[in-house]
Amino acid sequence: MMKYLGRRNLAGAAPDEVISDYRRRYEGIRVKHSVNYNSVKMYNKSGSLLRIETTINNTRDFKVFQVPMMMKANRRHGRRCVRA
C-alpha cells in the first residue's frame, strides 16, 4: 500500500503511518487507506461491484525523475511551459 501511495519504507527508516478505515454503509462496504493526505478508497457496492477511488492532495510525495521532451525543447527556445 505504501508503494502505491508514493512512499517506500527504506531500510533502517521508521515506517510511515498508514491510517486504515473500514465502514459498513447502506450501499455496501468501504475500505480506506491513507498516508500524508493521499488516500485509496475501495467500495463494494451491494456485493457485486468493486469501485476503487484515488485521492491525491499532497503531490510532493510523488517524484518526477525526468523532464518531458516537450518542456526541454520549449526551454531551449525561451518559450514558457504550461502543464495541463
Long-range contacts formed by 44-50: CB under 8 A, 24+ apart: none
Residue-level pLDDT at 78: 55
| Listed residue (66, 61, 65) closest to 8, CA to CA | 61
Residue-level pLDDT at 15: 56
Q: Which three cell numbers stand for residue 34?
A: 491513507
**Whether pTM exceeds 0.85:** no
Residue-level pLDDT at 36: 83
Q: How many domains does the chain have?
A: 1
Range of the domain at 9: 1-84
List per-block mean pLDDT (blocks of 10 residues) for the chain, which spans 84 residues: 54 69 87 89 85 88 67 58 55
